[in-house]
Chains A and B, each alone.
Chain A
Amino acid sequence: MNLKKLPLLNLKRNPGRTLALVLLTAVLSFSIFGGTVVVSSLRRGLGSLTERLGADIIVVPSQAQSKVSFQDIFLQGTVGAFYMSRENLTRTLEVEGVEKAAAQVFLASLKADCCSIRIQVIGIDPETDFVIRPWLEKSGSRGLKDMDVVVGTKVGAEVGETLRIYEERCHVAGKLAPTGTGLDSAVYCNMSTMKKLLSAAEAKGISHKVSSDDEDVVSAIYVKVKEGYDIGKVNSAIQGHTRKASAIRTRSMITDVSSSLLAISRVILGLIGAIWGMGFLLLFLAFAMIARERQQEFALLRVLGSTKKALKGLIRKEAFLCCLSGGFVGIGLACLLVFPFQTLIEMSLSLPYLIPEPSGLFLIALGALGASVASGFASSAFAAWRLSQADPGRLLRQG
């Protein structure tokens, strides 16, 4: 027997008490780690959304219930499509202050025999696109050949496989990095592929025509405003110059998301604070009760020759061991909830949600562990001080 093992022996031979302390600390680290991961994911999602939008103005058909349904596609991965005449692209480019404009065409596949899965298909023009292309390049995609598709990270298809969309076979040429937005659930192709897919959809009775004589359609136009121009004024000019279209400032979309994110973050941080406060109080009370229960044991150790400092060290070591274990348990439990149910959390929050990189997660875990151990030290400090101040002779005589 080595006295350095005394704290470990105490924890081992008092399993009920140890379990209670470990669970209490687990609650602390669970709330800190789980809450921070959710808040960080939301913040990262917003950053990703801002980066991915990459435009100052987005023009969508008025029939697209303005930005609401567009937001659903962009944020939640809702499958849908709406069209306007391609003429609006030319009209947009004519507006003073527009630096560049790129069109996208949407198509929703069906959950039927003709399609492998129900997904959002987005056609882009690689020549003019400045929104999706940088992302494709960043993800190592070689470009979009005819009948090639690049899939978002959440699409259940791997590189080399074939996706059937309205009986057309598309080769999966690449998989994109996660963005935490609805774009992760979409499939991207070039305009030539999209035309074939639109014709195939037409054959199945899914019409994309905006009028009988206009087959050349677009779903959204991304606009970059020249430097020095007022985006609001350009937005109004586009609104006036295009037909049956609504121009939306992306900043307003981001502001909406940002406000929701701020509100949710506040609630989560408030919850973390409340749980942490409650957990800390309970831990403090638990250590105080344990100290009371063990005062004769500590008095005995004092009488046998232990110093006050050594006794404080003993309590600190026990608190450290409990809180470290509890910290790991809490982080483990949070991982079991936050990662497997990521999609559910994302859906219920209806906001862009991008889990931090492993290095970021490691830092959050380290922080949560540190906070748990620090809470243990702080909550046990009073108990340690009280025990070391007690009169051992009196305590041992009292029995």
Chain B
Amino acid sequence: MALLELKNISKIYGDLKALDNVSIRVEKGEWVAIMGPSGSGKSTMMNIIGCMDKPTMGEVLLSGVDISKETARSLTDIRRDKIGLIFQQFHMVTYLTAVENVMVSQYYHSMPDEEEALEALGRVGLRDRARHLPSQLSGGEQQRVCVARALINHPELILADEPTGNLDETNENIVLGLFRQLHNEGTTLIVVTHDPEVAEAAQRTIVLEHGRVAREVINENFGK
């Protein structure tokens, strides 16, 4: 059974079809990149997969359960329990330290556990920066905190929107290394990106154009 399956989904805003009868399937443990030019429907798809929006038509199956008709409240619960989100702009709570930012995610999921949060920061190489505020961290460090925050609740799916878009090459490599590590541990990853190098790090790339799946590319060099 696929972890995620979009069946003939469309999203229509007035006269605009942001997504037009799209179907994709992501297996458990798979690392998939979604690419496409601006206006191709990447963000809309990301919102639907991330339970931040609902399709106008079609089904979204997460672990075999159709979530396309769920209420906003249920979608919040699903997102909290099953999905870890990473954004291009990092988005940290500015007045909380790195470890507190990770613990916020724990709080909404279950119970805050500082030791576990510190371990997650350790995984991204930031244990010694745990008590720093976002303003005291570099962009790369902030993004790594966001990765720690996304993985702290052991989500079934990590959904990343342009996760390296604001990073220099060094930090991009660190973040991709972390994704590789998560993938090796069996975490499912969906990465929305403009960057072909980031897409090439994934097992498979789905290319969107004009709200439709234009093609799918299997990365032959994956894991090599």
A binds B: yes
A residues at B contact (CB < 8 Å): 1-3, 6, 9-10, 12-14, 296-297, 299-307, 391-393, 396-397, 399
- A17 to chain B minimum Cβ distance, whole angstroms, is 10
Contacting pair B100 A1 (CB below 8 A): yes
B204 at the interface (CB under 8 A from A): no
- For residue B42, which residue of chain A has the nearest CB? A397
- For residue B88, which residue of chain A has the nearest CB? A399
With A3-B107, A397-B161 as known contacts, state yes or no: A9 contacts B96, CB within 8 Å: yes
Contacting pair A397 B76 (CB below 8 A): no
With A304-B80, A307-B76 as known contacts, state yes or no: A297 contacts B94, CB within 8 Å: yes
Q: Contact partner of A1 among B73, B87, B108, B114, CB < 8 A?
A: B114
Q: Contact partner of A3 among B91, B104, B114, CB < 8 A?
A: B104
- For residue B89, which residue of chain A has the nearest CB? A399
Query: Considering the chains assembled together, what is the distance between the CA atoms of A1 and B107 in angstroms?
Result: 9
Contacts of A307 in B (CB 8 A): 73, 76
With A393-B52, A396-B87 as known contacts, state yes or no: A9 contacts B95, CB within 8 Å: yes
Contacts of B77 in A (CB 8 A): 305
Contacting pair A305 B80 (CB below 8 A): yes
B50 at the interface (CB under 8 A from A): yes
Q: Contact partner of A300 among B43, B93, B99, CB < 8 A?
A: B93
- For residue B85, which residue of chain A has the nearest CB? A303
Contacting pair A306 B108 (CB below 8 A): yes
Contacts of B63 in A (CB 8 A): none
- For residue A303, which residue of chain B has the nearest CB? B85
Contacting pair B114 A303 (CB below 8 A): no
B56 at the interface (CB under 8 A from A): no
User: How many pairs of residues, A versus B, come closer than 8 Å at their CB atoms?
Assistant: 77
B132 at the interface (CB under 8 A from A): no
Chain B, 50-99, CB within 8 A of any chain A CB: 50, 52-53, 73, 76-77, 79-80, 85, 87-89, 91-96, 99
Contacts of A2 in B (CB 8 A): 107, 112
A selection of 10 A-B contacts at a CB cut-off of 8 Å is A1-B104, A1-B112, A6-B104, A9-B95, A9-B96, A296-B91, A303-B79, A305-B109, A391-B53, A393-B46
Interface residues on B, range: 20 to 34
- For residue B91, which residue of chain A has the nearest CB? A300
Q: Contact partner of A13 among B43, B88, B95, CB < 8 A?
A: B95
Contacts of A303 in B (CB 8 A): 50, 52, 79, 85
Query: Considering the chains assembled together, what is the distance between the CA atoms of A300 and B77 in angstroms?
Result: 14
- Write out, one digit per residue, whether chain B residues 122-135 have a CB within 8 A of any chain A CB (1) or not (0): 00000000000100
Contacting pair B89 A305 (CB below 8 A): no
**Besides A393-B52, A396-B161, 15 other CB < 8 A contacts?**
A1-B114, A2-B112, A3-B104, A9-B95, A12-B95, A14-B95, A297-B93, A301-B108, A304-B108, A305-B76, A393-B43, A396-B87, A397-B87, A399-B87, A399-B88
B residues at A contact (CB < 8 Å): 43, 46-47, 50, 52-53, 73, 76-77, 79-80, 85, 87-89, 91-96, 99-100, 103-105, 107-109, 112, 114, 133, 149, 161
Query: Considering the chains assembled together, what is the distance between the CA atoms of A9 and B88 in angstroms?
Result: 26
- A144 to chain B minimum Cβ distance, whole angstroms, is 69
Query: Considering the chains assembled together, what is the distance between the CA atoms of A1 and B95 in angstroms?
Result: 13
Query: Considering the chains assembled together, what is the distance between the CA atoms of A371 and B96 in angstroms?
Result: 31
Contacting pair A1 B96 (CB below 8 A): yes
Query: Considering the chains assembled together, what is the distance between the CA atoms of A302 and B76 in angstroms?
Result: 8
Query: Considering the chains assembled together, what is the distance between the CA atoms of A396 and B90 in angstroms?
Result: 9
Query: Considering the chains assembled together, what is the distance between the CA atoms of A305 and B107 in angstroms?
Result: 9
- A303 to chain B minimum Cβ distance, whole angstroms, is 6
- A336 to chain B minimum Cβ distance, whole angstroms, is 32
Query: Considering the chains assembled together, what is the distance between the CA atoms of A206 and B86 in angstroms?
Result: 94
Contacts of A9 in B (CB 8 A): 95-96, 100
Query: Considering the chains assembled together, what is the distance between the CA atoms of A303 and B94 in angstroms?
Result: 16
- For residue A393, which residue of chain B has the nearest CB? B52
Contacts of B112 in A (CB 8 A): 1-3
- B118 to chain A minimum Cβ distance, whole angstroms, is 12
- B13 to chain A minimum Cβ distance, whole angstroms, is 12
Contacts of A391 in B (CB 8 A): 52-53
Query: Considering the chains assembled together, what is the distance between the CA atoms of A393 and B53 in angstroms?
Result: 8
With A1-B112, A396-B89, A397-B87 as known contacts, state yes or no: A305 contacts B95, CB within 8 Å: no
Query: Considering the chains assembled together, what is the distance between the CA atoms of A2 and B104 in angstroms?
Result: 8
- For residue A392, which residue of chain B has the nearest CB? B52
- A5 to chain B minimum Cβ distance, whole angstroms, is 10
Query: Considering the chains assembled together, what is the distance between the CA atoms of A205 and B91 in angstroms?
Result: 89
Query: Considering the chains assembled together, what is the distance between the CA atoms of A9 and B50 in angstroms?
Result: 29
Query: Considering the chains assembled together, what is the distance between the CA atoms of A67 and B79 in angstroms?
Result: 82
- B144 to chain A minimum Cβ distance, whole angstroms, is 16
Contacts of A393 in B (CB 8 A): 43, 46-47, 50, 52-53
Contacting pair A396 B91 (CB below 8 A): yes
Contacts of B52 in A (CB 8 A): 303, 391-393
- A136 to chain B minimum Cβ distance, whole angstroms, is 63
Contacts of A396 in B (CB 8 A): 87, 89, 91, 161
Identify the 3 closest CB pairs spanning chains A and B, nearest first: A305-B80, A305-B108, A393-B52
Q: Contact partner of A301 among B79, B85, B87, B104, CB < 8 A?
A: B104
Query: Considering the chains assembled together, what is the distance between the CA atoms of A184 and B77 in angstroms?
Result: 70
Contacts of A304 in B (CB 8 A): 80, 104-105, 108, 149
- B138 to chain A minimum Cβ distance, whole angstroms, is 17
Contacting pair A1 B103 (CB below 8 A): yes
